[in-house]
Amino acid sequence: MHIGYIVLAYKSPAQILRLLSRVATGESSVAVHVDRIMDGEQYHELRRRAEELGDVHFLDRTRTYWGGFGLVRATIGALDHLLMNDALDYAVLLTGQDYPLRSSREIEASLRGAGGRSFLHNSPLPYAAWGPGGGLERVARWHLMRARPYRVRVPWKREIPGGLKAYGGEAYWCLSRAAAEHVSLFVRRNPRFLRFFEHVFVPDELFFQTIVMNSELRDEVVNDTLHFVDWNAEPGPAILTSRDLSRLEGSEKLFARKFDLDVDPEVLDRLDEHARAADRGVRS
């Protein structure tokens, strides 16, 4: 079971390195995009130390903005890199503030038992959880995002090229190789679709769902995420701490977000211990 991880990050090199040390195993590969907002000296030191971990590739850095297309573009580049490896079975999208809740062996076993299905939280728009408009305005209007709070919205009525139906959901997913290849090929063959989504608001919650759920692979999708996320905070998601350990360890999820070393480093220590104990159990 070969898992390819995509890590999108912008801050806290120590925390990024700690995540990479957990997911970069002899049976995995990692593609990392670090936003150009990070100081150059910190970035180069992160790269130097990450090179010691194994198959970790750093993509060319770009500037991304919340709500804009930059994260999608970085993800597409990372996905294309991972697909160069013929052994790839699954691609998992993470942020630099994510962390595994299970050991690498447990994660591999879980995906081995998934039967080639993808895990992609999705709903056709309008999606009730996104408010009165159900997110339709994100797609039907033209948007331009730059640094917060800069946002331009033009009231042009737009429709997705090709007559595709819009789908949205949680931004972080796990795609089978078949689904990842479909996304990569679709992007190359449909430049109008790509240009359209460059002006969708928060496109990382819509782009991949719309491609996959309009394909023949939709019946191979589990409508769920492999992430534990607590949205009971304002703004969400909540930062997870040691107080959440019982919920994290008791969860059936494989990953969680978000964590912050400056808030509570102990929770990551405890999750590491939990993973080591699980590995000892697997070996015995």
Question: What tokens appear for 134 in the block?
Answer: 């159900």
Rounded mean pLDDT, 223-230? 97
Residues 6+ apart with CB under 8 A from 66: 145, 148
pLDDT number for residue 96: 97
> Is the Cβ–Cβ distance between 28 and 21 less than 8 Å?
no
Which residues share a beta bridge with 221? 118
- Please state, rounded to an integer, the average pLDDT across all residues of the chain: 94
Which residues share a beta bridge with 56? 30
Alpha-carbon gap, residue 58 to 78, rounded angstroms:
9
* pLDDT over threshold 90, residue 282: no
Question: What tokens appear for 195 in the block?
Answer: 């240009």
pLDDT exceeding 90 applies to what percent of the chain? 87
> Is the Cβ–Cβ distance between 217 and 240 less than 8 Å?
no
The values of phi and psi at residue 192, to 5°, are: -65, -35
pTM of the model: 0.94
> Is the Cβ–Cβ distance between 160 and 210 less than 8 Å?
yes
pLDDT exceeding 70 applies to what percent of the chain? 97
Q: How confident is the model at residue 85 (pLDDT cuts 50, 70, 90)?
A: very high
Q: How confident is the model at residue 261 (pLDDT cuts 50, 70, 90)?
A: very high
pLDDT number for residue 16: 98
Domain ranges of the chain: 114-225
Rounded mean pLDDT, 262-283? 86
* pLDDT over threshold 50, residue 283: no
Write the burial class of residue 260 (CB in 10 Å: 0-12 exposed, 13-18 middle, 19+ buried): middle
Q: Please report how many Cα atoms fall inside a 13 Å half-sphere around the Cα of residue 130, on the Cβ side.
A: 21
Q: pLDDT tens digits, residue range 3-17?
A: 999 999 999 999 999
Q: pLDDT tens digits, residue range 180-190?
A: 999 999 999 99
Question: What tokens appear for 75 in the block?
Answer: 């993800």
pLDDT number for residue 233: 81
SS (H, E, C) the chain: CCEEEEEEECCCHHHHHHHHHHHCCCCEEEEEEECCCCCHHHHHHHHHHHHHHCCEEECCCCCCCCCCCHHHHHHHHHHHHHHCCCCCCEEEEEECCEEECCCHHHHHHHHHCCCCCEECCCEECCCHHHCCCCCHHHHHCEEEECCCCCEEEECCCCCCHHHCCCEECCCCCEEEHHHHHHHHHHHHHCHHHHHHHCCCCCHHHCHHHHHHHCCHHHHHEECCCCEEECCCCCCCCCCCCHHHHHHHHHCCCCEEECCCCCCCCHHHHHHHHHHHHHHHHHHC
Q: How confident is the model at residue 128 (pLDDT cuts 50, 70, 90)?
A: very high
Q: pLDDT tens digits, residue range 31-68?
A: 999 999 999 999 999 999 998 998 999 999 999 988 99
